[in-house]
Amino acid sequence: MTAGPVLPALAGAVAARAGLAAARALDARPAGAPWRRTNYAGRPVTLLGGPALAVAATAGAALGAPVGTRGAAVVAGAVSGLVGAYDDLAGARPEQARDKGLAGHLRALRAGRVSAGAVKVAGIGAAAAVAALLTRRDRGLADAVLTTGLVAGTANLVNLLDLRPGRAAKAGALAAAATVGGPAGGLVAGPLGAALAVLPDDLGERVMLGDSGANALGALLGLRLAAVPSRPARAGLLAVVSALTLASERISFTRVIEATPGLRELDRLGRRPA
Dihedral over Cα of 248, 263, 261, 234: its sign: positive
CB distance 76 to 65 below 8 Å:
no
Q: CB count, 10 Å around CB of 102?
A: 15
pLDDT on residue 1: 43
> pLDDT tens, 185-234?
999 999 999 999 999 999 999 999 999 999 999 999 999 999 999 999 99
- Please report, as a single letter, which amino acid is at residue 111: A
Q: Is 92 exposed, middle or buried (0-12, 13-18, 19+ CB in 10 A)?
A: middle
pLDDT on residue 274: 76
- Please report, as a single letter, which amino acid is at residue 65: A
Query: What band does 14 get if pLDDT is binned at 50, 70 and 90?
Result: very high
- The CA distance from 6 to 254, in Å, is 33
pLDDT on residue 116: 78
Position with higher pLDDT, 25 vs 108: 25
Q: What is the pTM of this model?
A: 0.93
Mean pLDDT, rounded, for 168-179: 98
Question: Which segment of 21-35, 85-99, 111-125, 134-148 scores lowest on mean pLDDT?
Answer: 85-99
For residues 236-247, one letter each, b for 16 or more C-beta atoms within 10 angstroms of the residue's C-beta and e for the rest, the string is ebbeebeebbee
Residues in CB range of 191: below 8 A, 6 or more apart: 12, 57, 60, 61, 77, 172, 176, 217, 220, 221
> pLDDT tens, 43-91?
999 999 999 999 999 999 999 999 889 999 999 999 999 999 999 998 7
pLDDT on residue 47: 97
Query: What band does 108 get if pLDDT is binned at 50, 70 and 90?
Result: low
Cα-flanking dihedrals φ and ψ of residue 164, to 5°?
-140, 150
Asked whether residue 96 carries a pLDDT value surpassing 60, the answer given is no
Share of the chain above pLDDT 70, in %: 89
Share of the chain above pLDDT 90, in %: 82
pLDDT on residue 117: 81
Asked whether residue 142 carries a pLDDT value surpassing 70, the answer given is yes
Q: CB count, 10 Å around CB of 76?
A: 36
- HSE-up of residue 150 (Cα within 13 Å, Cβ side): 26
- Between the ranges 104-113, 190-199, 249-258, where is the mean pLDDT highest? 190-199
Of 229, 192, 136, the residue nearest 4 (C-alpha): 192
Query: What band does 2 get if pLDDT is binned at 50, 70 and 90?
Result: very low
Question: Which segment of 3-7, 73-77, 167-171, 192-196 scores lowest on mean pLDDT?
Answer: 3-7
The strand pairing partners of 207, in sequence order, are: 46
pLDDT on residue 115: 75
The strand pairing partners of 37, in sequence order, are: 45
Q: CB count, 10 Å around CB of 195?
A: 35
